[in-house]
Structures are given as C-alpha cells and as structure tokens.
Structure 1
C-alpha cells in the first residue's frame, strides 16, 4: 500500500512540475550590463526574464541594472529613440564614474535588447533642460558610444 502511495505522490508531483505554470516555458535569457569591479566599464550579465510586453521588458531592464534609488516614471519609443523619464532619485547618482556606469548600464542593456533603438535620451521629471553633474539629461546616448572595454 505504501508503495502505491509513493508512486501516486511521485506521479502527481511529476504532473504538477510539467504544467505550463511551473515550466520554463515563457522564459528567455536576456543580457543586461553592470559596472565592472573598478567602475570603468560595463560588463554583460545574463538574466532570466519571463516573456511579456514591451513595457514589462523596459521596466525589467531598468530594475535589473539601476542600483541607485532612481525610479522610471515613464518611457516612450519613437523614431528609434528611447526616452526614459526619471524621478528625483537621479540626483543621487554620485561621481563621474557613477554617472558613467549609470548611463552605460542603461544604454548597453537597452541597445542589446531593443535592436531598433538607435539612441537613448534621459529626462528628469519630464524635462530635458536640467543640468546634473554626472548624468547627461536631454543629451542623446547613441549606439556608436560604447561603455564596454575596448577589444
């Protein structure tokens, strides 16, 4: 009797494990970028992402690469330009290396995962006019710029 009980439990667990909700179906691996140990360049890192909408991917990437307390208010993609509208947390990005790594991790991650995006523009509370010390607000970051270590 115990033998059949264990076989039934095993079969039930197997069936649950193979259900669409718990399988790896619907997942993909994407590449995001983060600062290297010296905060000189960005380096790739693979993460698992549950397939979803463009909006979900935009927010997922942002949350994966931004270590600072910066929130993404909203975004827009138009004519090959990704505009990221950031909250006041962007003022907390410290130092020139911190600014480079902040912009570099965002830029390389979005360029890698959105091949149609040719440039990225950062806004602060909807404005492109504000001057911040280490994060370029309102100035395009292009694919030609690279934050990765030269080969």
Structure 2
C-alpha cells in the first residue's frame, strides 16, 4: 500500500486511495459506535488499537458488546465489496438496543453486496428500514407447505 501511495504513477496512487476507502469507512463506523466511551481507533497503526483518554487500549479490554460489533464489522470488511452471504445467530447478544438498530445499516454500509441471513429475538435489529426485507422461516419451510 505504501509503495502504491508513494508511486510516481498516478493510476497506482488512485488505486491505493480506492483500497483505503473501506478501511476508513470501517474506522469511521467504529469511532461513531465507541464515541460514548471516548474510545477512538488508532488510524496510524496496522493493528487494531484504541485510545481512550490518551491511554492505549487493546481489543481484549473492550466490553463484550464492543467486541461483538468489532468482530462483525471486521468480518464484513475483510470480504471487501464482494458478493457474500453472512450468517449470524442472534447478533444482538451483548448489544445495546441502539447498536442493534444500527447493525444491519452498518454492515450494508461496509458492503452493500452482502446478503444477511440471521436469527434474532430482537425486533430492534430490523426496525431501521429492514422490515420489508425480512422473510420469516415459517413462510418458507417445507413443513409449512406440506401442511397447507
């Protein structure tokens, strides 16, 4: 990446800039989520490190909800913009209701090509404009169609 950015070739510099867009988007999303605890991701490090009130903070020191969001969003980030299917079982576990509401939007902001298949007991996960995209398993299960 550094070689591309420092290249004399404008096309290579542009390519490097495009490659860094998803990473910056990820960092912006994490900073937004963690802002209530004054945590910010270190954008200069090649590792995932946070700072809180000037103190260096490694991911294992995060709350369970923060770790959950970090893992989900990192999973989406590493897929790039590729078409993929993401299976999640009760992703709302350990998440504040506000984060549950933002979850799908943040995933789709990082990769609009991801198809989500998830189980949830929380209506908050789908209430931010995703209700029309929901298909309940009972509507597509074989057992339901056989009994009709």
**TM-score interval for Structure 1 and Structure 2 normalised by the shorter chain:** 0.3 to 0.5
Higher share in strand: 1
Greater radius of gyration (CA): 1
User: Which has the larger share of helix?
Assistant: 2
TM-score by length of 1: 0.33
* TM-score (norm: length of structure 2): 0.34
